[in-house]
Structure formats: structure tokens, C-alpha cells
Structure 1
Amino acid sequence: MAKAKLASWNRAKGFGFLSLNGESKQLFVHISSFADKKLDPEKLVGLWFNYTLAKDKQGRPCAKQLRLVGSKPAFSTKPNGLAKRAGMTALAFFVLLLSLVLLQKLPLALLVFYVVMSVVTFVLYALDKSAAQAGRWRVQELKLHVFALIGGWPGAMLAQQTLRHKTQKQSFRWGYYCTVLLNIAALAYLLSPNGEPMLLDINQALSSLLP
């Protein structure tokens, strides 16, 4: 199976061309040749595809069985050591929060808030993964970082490794690490004597929002 970049697409006519050997040669591809029928080729121009070389009814070369390079199911059933480690780290963090709640160092509402934000952030990662594979509008990276910053970073960490998403782009990874450090620093401040008044205000605000 060969690999080439989708160079152009004509939505009205339902076909386009793959770029071979840079820009010197092009290979015809029809909409029916994509393995994933949910893809929108017009939004995938410039991306790489694996394909099988074939011939049309007139004997002309064309591409068949196109698949996005590196595309994987959103949820993988294969063993993933990093996913297990991420799960254990998230669990340890929530156990720590629960311990602080039992010791009356943190309000229960804050623990519930972390859980809710982690679930929401995980869902956002799953939606972004699905959108990336289907060529639909993506979830903004800034939104993923904001939800991680306000408490959803355990869910983000679990989503990255479980879904195998957002793990290659180094700039995004550094941004994520910053959200984790800032959130933990803010939590440490709330646990300090100076942060106690703010913690009380946050507890009141969350208690009014949560049932």
C-alpha cells in the first residue's frame, strides 16, 4: 500500500487528485474510493492517505481504498501501559482529594467539581478525536486547555492515553503540562492559611451550583 497527499478536491463532481512525487504527478481518486464513507475529503486536502493503486473502467490508473495515515479507532481495546499509568495517576489524585475532604481540609463540592470537569474534558477529547477522523470541525485546543486548567486535567490525561489523542504535538503537550502545574499550584494555595478565605468563597459558589 502506497502513501500520498490529497492535493485537491472537487465537491460538486465528487473526485480529486493525490499528489505523487511532490507536485509533478497526480493520481485520480473518486469519492467512492475512501474506506471511511463518513469522511469529508474537501476538509482533508493536504493530509496524507494510504491507498491501493488500481485502474478504472477505461484502464486509467486511480487510487482505491484510501485511509487517513495514522487513523485509529477512537477507543482502542489493545493493552496500553500508558493508559493504565494515567488511570492510576488520576485515581491517586482523586483518592488524595477524598482524603482531604474526610479530613475537612477541602469541601466535598470541590471534589465533585473535579470529577465533573474530568468527565467533561474526557468527552471533549473523544469528540475531538472523532472529528479529526471524520474531517469535521475540531474542538479548539484552547478549550481543551481551559477545561484542564479549571480541574479537568485528570480526565485530559486519561483521554490522551486511552484514546491515543493529542500525544504527538509537543506544543500542545507543554501547554497541557502548564495547566496541570497551575491547577495544582492553585489547589496548594487554597489549602494554605492565606487561601482559606478564597476556599470558603469557592465552596459557597459550588454549593449553589451543585444539587
Structure 2
Amino acid sequence: MAAPRETATLIQWDDAKGCGFLRGDSEPSRLFVRLHDFELLTERPRQGERFSFEPGVDGQGRRRALRVRRPRAPISVRPRNSAGTAGLLLIPGFAAVYLVCHLLWGLPPALWGGYMALSLASFIVYAGDKRAARLGQWRVKESTLHGLALAGGWPGALLAQSVLRHKSSKAVFRRRFWLTVWGNCFAFALIFTPLRSLLWAALGFGPI
């Protein structure tokens, strides 16, 4: 039979070593805890945070914390992100527009490969950042994620946000992300379609 769970406060934590100390509520002595002793950890432990644990002992007979968990939050049904699902329709929509542009104006063969490669890179980076968040490790800068999207990796980023549920609920990040999407689409139209010539003529500069 498992030992009764106790509660404690994290009083010290070292990210570099991946370990720290808890102070139990039932007695003042410190309990050693390692990163791998935590269960269902989605972000790094923070000093002052409350946890529950099962008491145990190490090889030298000293008390330590095992199967450490954050307090269980009330179960709630997470609403489906309909905006994110609808946003995925932009990927086949862009592919259709790309095909039409290619048939009309003969786009460079390497351009589609560039979009595919950057999208794959974006998905991999998102997956790595989600894993880092879960393990409490160093995170990818948001500017890097936005840079990949602006360069042409936004389809992969959009897919990662929906499939991995990562960066899909942070409003500020989402606003900036959509700016990179529309920025890339505008740059695509400006460089690879007659839009540039039309804008140039509308400004009264004559044909390019």
C-alpha cells in the first residue's frame, strides 16, 4: 500500500542541477527532491509553490519526496478553439492560390520547396519548445518563432499550434503571429504576382 500523501512548499530549486528542497507541513525538516521525482510536470517548479508528495528515503536513510505533484485543479471542459480550427483552412487556401499563381505567372520551382522546408522547421521548433516548457528547460524565443513564420514557415506553425496545442491561447503571441502570416502573404503577392506593377503604376511611377 502506498504511503499517505503529504503536502509541502518548495523552498529551494536549482534549474541547472534539476533538484531542490521541499519543507513539509507536518515537520520542519527539509526533503530533497529531483526533477524526475515530479509527476505530470508541465512547467518548471517555482520556489514558494505548493506540492503534494509521498514520503520516502534515499540510500542513506534520509527522508526525501517521491511522486511529487502540483495540487489537482478542478476538472473543466476545455472549449474547442474554433478560431484555430478555422485558421487551418488558410493552409489549403494558400496552396490553391499558389497553384493558380504558378499556372498564370510561372513561380520559381524552389519557392514551394522553401515553404515546405520552413514549415517543417517551424513544426519541429514548436514541438521542441513545448517539450522544453513541460520539462522546465530553456525555451525558444518568441521572436524566433515569429521570424520563421514571417519567412514562410507559418503553415507549419499554424499546424503545430492546432495539433500540439502550443501557443494557441496566448492572445499577444497570436496577434503578432497573424501579423507575420499576413506580412508573408503580402510579400508573396508583391514579389511573385503583378501586384507590384499595379501598385507602382498606381503611385504614378510608370511600368517596372
Give the SS at the match of 1:103.
helix
Residues 35 and 67, structure 1, Cα contact 8 Å, conserved in 2: yes
Give the SS at the match of 1:131.
helix
Residues 87 and 158, structure 1, Cα contact 8 Å, conserved in 2: yes
Q: Please list, as runs of the form range in 1=range in 2, the aligned pairs for 1:193-208 lying within 5 A after superposition.
A: 193-194=195-196
Give the SS at the match of 2:98.
helix
Cα distance in 2 between the residues matched to 1:108 and 1:181: 22
Q: Please list, as runs of the form range in 1=range in 2, the aligned pairs for 1:47-58 lying within 5 A after superposition.
A: 51-56=51-56
Q: CA deviation at 1:136?
A: 2.0
Matched, 1:94 2:99: no
Q: Which residue of structure 2 aligns with residue 35 of structure 1? A: 39
Q: CA deviation at 1:135?
A: 1.9
Looking at secondary structure, tell me which structure has more helix per residue: 1
Cα distance in 2 between the residues matched to 1:86 and 1:51: 38
C-alpha change, 1:3 and 1:173, in structure 2 (3 Å) is: farther
Q: Which residue of structure 1 aligns with residue 77 of structure 2? A: none
Q: Please list, as runs of the form range in 1=range in 2, the aligned pairs for 1:94-133 lying within 5 A after superposition.
A: 94-133=95-134
Give the SS at the match of 2:46.
coil
Amino acid at match of 1:9: W
Q: CA deviation at 1:112?
A: 1.8
Q: Which residue of structure 2 aligns with residue 15 of structure 1? A: 20
Q: Which residue of structure 2 aligns with residue 171 of structure 1? A: 172
Amino acid at match of 2:39: A
Amino acid at match of 2:194: S
C-alpha change, 1:95 and 1:178, in structure 2 (3 Å) is: same
What do residues 17-67 of structure 1 show as CA deviations (whole Å, max 9, x unaligned)? Answer: 3799xxxx998462263126xx7xxx924289784354456xxx9864334
Cα distance in 2 between the residues matched to 1:123 and 1:149: 16
Q: Please list, as runs of the form range in 1=range in 2, the aligned pairs for 1:139-154 lying within 5 A after superposition.
A: 139-154=140-155
| Runs of at least 5 residues in structure 1 that lack an aligned partner in the other structure | 71-78, 197-211
- TM-score, length basis structure 1: 0.63
Cα distance in 2 between the residues matched to 1:176 and 1:135: 24
Identity over the aligned pairs, expressed in percent? 31
What do residues 126-176 of structure 1 show as CA deviations (whole Å, max 9, x unaligned)? Answer: 111111112222111111100100111111111111100012222211110
Q: CA deviation at 1:80?
A: 8.1
C-alpha change, 1:5 and 1:55, in structure 2 (3 Å) is: closer
Cα distance in 2 between the residues matched to 1:105 and 1:129: 38
Cα distance in 2 between the residues matched to 1:195 and 1:15: 63
